[in-house]
Structure formats: structure tokens, C-alpha cells
Structure 1
Amino acid sequence: MKLSNSFIQSVAILVMLAELPEKSYLKSSEISQRMGVSHTYLQKIAKKLNNAGIIQSEASKTGGYSLNKSVRDITFYDVFKAVENSDSFLNNVKTDVIHTMFLSDKLVDKYGNLTLDILKEAENSYLSVLKEHSIEEIVPKNSKGELLIIDWPLFLKNN
């Protein structure tokens, strides 16, 4: 389990969508332009976010992507589940080497299993922290503490 560029780019997409004025959409071409990533690649990420119910897609001339729920209700874990391979830390790890670390099967059972338990606990802690934090925490706010609103299409058109 490790974070990929897709995870960070997904977070960036969500922040941009959170900053849109109400009932506004951002086209995938606009997002990819701003982020400096391939349009095709961005669409793949957006599809995963859409399939997870985090964002929605409006197919029309004025459509694009928008959030499907409040940023306070979208956790980093939700994004992680949507775009990352959710295999365990220990998936595809050969644990049979544990048998070589100890001189007896009794020690393997005791300390080998303890080693695996520690690694599973670390993984659970990692996922727990992702669940505790929402995307809202990283969306810029104005002087009143409200989410900063940016008309991204207009901004991108003028820059």
C-alpha cells in the first residue's frame, strides 16, 4: 500500500471543485490544463472519483464535474479507496523468511506472528488517520472562514 500520483491529483481535483461557485461545473480539459496533466489520465482519475460517488459528471455543453457531496463529508480515506489499490501492506510479501529468523517453530509462532501483528496494526493506524481527516481541512477559506470561491473556468480563460 502506497500513495500514487493519482491520489494527490484526486485531492487537487476535489479542492478545485470545492472552490467552484454553487451549481457550477469544471470541465476535465480545464482541470487537466490547470494541473498540467494529460487529459486522458485526468479522465481516468475522475471516472474513479465519479464511480465512488465523490464527484458527479454533467454531460452537456456547460457541464463538467462537480462535487457530489460536501467536502466536510469526503475523507482522505474515501479518496484513497476510490483511486488506490487497497491491497494490504503485506499483500504479495513473502513472510516465509520469518522462519529463518528464529531457531524453533515455537519462536516463529510467537515472534513471527507478533511481527505480522505489528505490521497490520501500522496499516490500520494509517487508514484510521485517513478516515479522521476531511478534504475540507485543506480547502482555502476567506477571511470569514468560508470556503474560498474561484471561478476556475473564467480564471483559466484569462490566464
Structure 2
Amino acid sequence: MKMSSAVEQSLVVLVMLALQKDHDPVKSYVLSDRLQVSESYLKKTMRKLVVAGIVDAIASKDGGFKLARPVSAINLLDVYQAIEGDGSFIHSTQLADRIFLSQKSNKRVEDVREALDIATNDVLTAFNEAEKDFKNSLQNYTIANLLQHVKANEFGYIDWRQVTEA
């Protein structure tokens, strides 16, 4: 499984929005500048977070993006599925079946085909269980958990709109 960089980018943006002073909206150009990423790519990612109900897009002179829910109500699975989709990442192409397409049917070929079907089902079951464990782990970890490491209460809140490079 490969996860896109947009998932990591989304998590960092959510931390930034959670730490934003007075929970004021932050414009996309401010976020992209701070993250040093393309604003157009960031906007596409943010759109997915808006559609998923994780962030709100405020259209006004002072608008931008802000969290739509409390950090304790946003888990990593919400973010992952907003960006990567909520479908399974396990997909069998039935490639093993192709090796028997041109074979004349006989007892030995049928035995091997049957054994291969059982093995394929075992492998798919293992992958499906791993995917279930992966998603359960993501569901049990919230942005609030992530912020514990940042010690937001200790450091206070940041106005990303006012922060300049040193």
C-alpha cells in the first residue's frame, strides 16, 4: 500500500488550523506558503477535506479554511478516507487464474487450480484482515491525540497569518 503525500499534508494543515489563534480562517496561500507546497495542489486537497466535512471553506475577504469539527472528533481514518477514498485497497486481478486458461482440463490441472483458489482466498483474507486492522488503528487516533505531542496548551496558539520567517 502506498499513501499519497496529500494525507501527510492534510494532517499538517489540520494541526495548523487547530493551533490557529481564535480559530480564525486561514487562507490557502498562507497554508501553501508555510508548507512550501503548490497552492493549486493544496486547494485540491483542501476541497477533499471540505467535502468530507473535516474543514469549512469560508468565502469572504477574511475567509479561508477552518476546522469544521473539534479535534477530538477528527480521526486519522477520516483524513485518510477523505484523501484516498473509502474503498478497499485490496484488489485481486485473478492473475493466477490466467495460467490455466490454455490448459486442457485433466485431474492434475483441476487439483492445482483448486489448491491455488484456496491459497488465493487465504492470501486475500490475510490482506483484508490487515486492512481492517490498519483502518481500526487510524480510527482510534484523533487530531487531539496528535496535538498532545505539540503541547498546544503549553505553547499557546499561533496566528499563521502573522508569522514570518526568521
Please indicate the TM-score interval, normalised by the length of the shorter structure: 0.7 to 0.9
Q: Output one character per residue of 1:103-126: Cα deviation in whole Å (capped at 9) or x when no partner.
A: 524423432211111111111111
Q: Output the TM-score relative to the length of structure 2.
A: 0.82
Match of 2:17 in 1: 17
Point out 4+ residue stretches in structure 1 off by more than 4 angstroms. none
Match of 1:141 in 2: 151
Give, in whole Å, the separation in 2 of the partners of 1:23 and 1:130: 25
Give, in whole Å, the separation in 2 of the partners of 1:39 and 1:18: 20
Higher Cα Rg: structure 1 or 2?
Answer: 2
In structure 1, stretches of 5+ residues that fail to align are none
Q: Which amino acid aligns with 1:63?
A: G
Of all paired residues, the percent bearing the same amino acid is 33
1:116 pairs with 124, 130, 143, which one?
124
In structure 2, stretches of 5+ residues that fail to align are 100-108
State the superposition RMSD in angstroms: 2.2
Tell me, yes or no, if the aligned pair for 2:17 and 2:23 is still in contact at 8 Å. Answer: no
Give, in whole Å, the separation in 1 of the partners of 2:158 and 2:23: 13
Match of 1:131 in 2: 139
- Would you say 1:47 and 2:47 are equivalent positions? yes
Length, aligned pairs only: 154
Q: Output one character per residue of 1:136-157: Cα deviation in whole Å (capped at 9) or x when no partner.
A: 1222224xx568411111114x
